Structure formats: C-alpha cells, structure tokens
C-alpha cells in the first residue's frame, strides 16, 4: 500500500480518513495477498470487482468499482448493481462486518452483493465473515 501525496498538506480530517483506510487495508492484507482471488465481471461492465477468500474460507474481501455512468445511476432505476461472488460455500452464511447484514452463500453466488452507487460513492470495500 502506498500513498502518493504530500501528507503534510492534508487536513486533520483527510489524515484521519487515510488512517482508517490504512487500518482497514492492514486488516485484510493477508487475505488479499494469500487468499484465492477472483475477478468479478470486467472493467467494461458497469460494476466490476476483485474478490479474495481467506485460505480457511473464514473471510471474503470484495473490492468493487463503479465503471458505468458517471451520474452513479444503475442500469435499472431502483436496483443496485450486483456482483456474484465465486468460490464461497453456498450452504454457509456470511455477515458483512461493517453493515451487519447477513447473506446465504447461495444468495451471494446466484443473486450477488448489491452496490447502490451514487455520484459521490463509486467504490466499496466489503468484508464478509463466514458464520
């Protein structure tokens, strides 16, 4: 992880936000470096991502990017863009560590993880824990 900016020129708020992102990266670094990785969709699709699964299957990290319309609107109004996850146990349950939402593995594989993009929110890092 590298930060290519003049950190001394950042505001206290910017430094605090950067510290949160660095801590988040450190939390998932081993999974991203040593886990099983899958490309989800293509950068040519409106939503694409990279998914990494911990070697023991206990956690899943999804980095998602909105590559579609610049206004953040989904292809179908009212429906979030989705990424179908790969390599997870369809019989297991998973909890989003930040939001607390629970999903079945089958739902994540067949329906997918939803991303309600906006003009101000076009990337997301989701960490799921297998229950």
Give yes or no for a contact between 49 and 62, defined as CB atoms under 8 angstroms apart: yes
Cα separation, 94 vs 97, in Å, equals 9
Indicate whether 103 pLDDT > 80: yes
Indicate whether 77 pLDDT > 90: no
Domain 35-130 has CATH 1.10.287.110: no
Indicate whether 119 pLDDT > 70: yes
Indicate whether 124 pLDDT > 90: yes
| Nearest Cα residue to 59 out of 14, 92, 19, 23 | 92
Phi, psi of 41, deg, nearest 5:
65, -170
Mean pLDDT within 66-81: 68
Most confidently predicted of 6-10, 101-105, 118-122: 101-105
pLDDT per residue as tens digits for the range 10-53: 999 999 998 998 999 999 999 999 999 999 999 888 899 999 99
């Amino acid at each position: 992880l590298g930060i290519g900016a003049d950190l001394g020129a950042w505001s206290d708020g910017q430094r605090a936000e950067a510290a949160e992102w660095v801590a988040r990266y450190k939390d998932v670094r081993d999974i991203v470096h040593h886990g099983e990785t899958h490309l989800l969709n293509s950068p040519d699709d409106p939503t694409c991502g990279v998914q990494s699964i911990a070697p023991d299957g206990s956690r899943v990290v999804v980095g998602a990017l909105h590559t579609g319309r610049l206004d953040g609107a989904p292809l179908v109004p009212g429906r979030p863009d989705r990424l179908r996850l790969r390599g997870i146990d369809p019989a297991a349950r998973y909890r989003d560590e930040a939001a607390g939402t629970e999903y079945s593995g089958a739902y994540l594989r067949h329906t997918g993880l939803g991303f309600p993009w906006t003009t101000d929110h076009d990337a997301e890092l989701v960490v799921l824990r297998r229950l």
